[in-house]
Amino acid sequence: MKEQKEIIYFETVSDLYKALGMSIEQNAQFTVNNLLNIHSEIPYKSPVFRANYYSFLFIKSGLGNYTTDNNTFDYNNRTLYFTNPGHLKAFEFKQLKEGYLITLSEAFLKQNVKKEIFNDFPFLLSEIVPPKQLSEQQYAEFETLYSQIFKEYQNNSQYKYKIIGSLFFVLLLRIKELFWSKYLPLEEGDRSSEIVNNFKKELEHHFKKLLNNEHQTLMQPNDYANLQNLNSAYFSQVITSKTGKSVSGWISEKRILHAKSLLINTTLSVKEICYQLGYAEPAYFSKYFKKKEGISPTLFRKNFSINNNLKKVQD
């Protein structure tokens, strides 16, 4: 995707449409809209933007495309597609006769749909999401669901969002059953995850800077998310889901790996190694190292030296 001079980040869909001159009313966490009530002029092509919410589009009759990062997908009648937070996005309506848009935050998903939402629906973390064209019968089933959601959204019931959450849970189950039942986040993480690959490169680059004394403080998980202009919670979910290890876990593992290397290959004191790897206190570093390796840094270095000398004698 060719980027504009400035990519604007929108927290909600109402923020987006306000910036586009098409203001809509919206709960900050959830909305459902008839696209024709928003887009009175078709064709329409959006600028490139980032958003901190999920979008689900149901195009009953229309023709257009949408872009996520470097991938552009065309669609036509009876199409379902969704986009997730953080990525570069753009969309184009070439023709539009009927369609609905649902947007919701991660907080809404966890509060009203399922607390451990990504365990049941890991495809929500997928980075490459092609559109799904439906048969008439399949689309009719989804139309029933999103129409019920739209109707409930107009009500003022005290259970309004719980009911919407339950209906959306059914909608997600149907999407999973039809299109994502075999999706494996770890497989995508190994092969094609741009977020994972960029994180690993930045992690390696940062520790190289630490070891060369070019960086003085250790980068935290939210720092790595910011480097990719991603929501911190979403970024952490992607890394954990697609690598089987948390961002903090990756950072800790890298610190211990370099600590062992410095203990073995340099004469730096334990205190110097501690500060070089971004630990604030030598006592904490020693305690954490022992927790991970079973022995203290000092004993680790001593044991390696003894074993190395024995090997030399034997040779």
**Spatial distance between the Cα atoms of 26 and 33, rounded to a whole number of angstroms:** 9
The pLDDT tens digits of the residues spanning 261-290 come to 889 888 999 999 998 898 889 999 999 999
Domains and CATH numbers, the chain: 8-183 (2.60.120.280), 188-314 (1.10.10.60)
**Spatial distance between the Cα atoms of 82 and 66, rounded to a whole number of angstroms:** 10
**Spatial distance between the Cα atoms of 296 and 309, rounded to a whole number of angstroms:** 20
Sign of CA dihedral 240, 241, 243, 244: positive
33, pLDDT greater than 80 = yes
**Spatial distance between the Cα atoms of 97 and 59, rounded to a whole number of angstroms:** 9
When pLDDT is cut at 50, 70 and 90, the band that residue 309 belongs to is: low
When pLDDT is cut at 50, 70 and 90, the band that residue 66 belongs to is: very high
Q: Letter for the amino acid at 277?
A: L
When pLDDT is cut at 50, 70 and 90, the band that residue 191 belongs to is: low
Lowest mean pLDDT among 154-168, 175-189, 282-296: 175-189
Lowest mean pLDDT among 86-90, 120-124, 176-180, 252-256: 86-90
Note the pLDDT of residue 3: 47
Nearest to 104 by CA among 52, 30, 50: 30
Token pair 């009500």: residue: 155
Note the pLDDT of residue 204: 86
For residue 84, CA distances in Å to 35, 50, 126, 266 come to 19, 10, 8, 46
Note the pLDDT of residue 11: 84
The pLDDT of 63-85, averaged and rounded, is: 93
For residue 216, CA distances in Å to 219, 262, 274, 276, 279 come to 10, 17, 12, 7, 10
When pLDDT is cut at 50, 70 and 90, the band that residue 188 belongs to is: low
**Spatial distance between the Cα atoms of 266 and 288, rounded to a whole number of angstroms:** 20
Note the pLDDT of residue 57: 98
pTM of the model: 0.71
**Spatial distance between the Cα atoms of 80 and 70, rounded to a whole number of angstroms:** 20
Q: If you average pLDDT over every residue of the chain, what do you get?
A: 88
| Tokens representing residue 176 in the block | 């999973």
Note the pLDDT of residue 213: 81
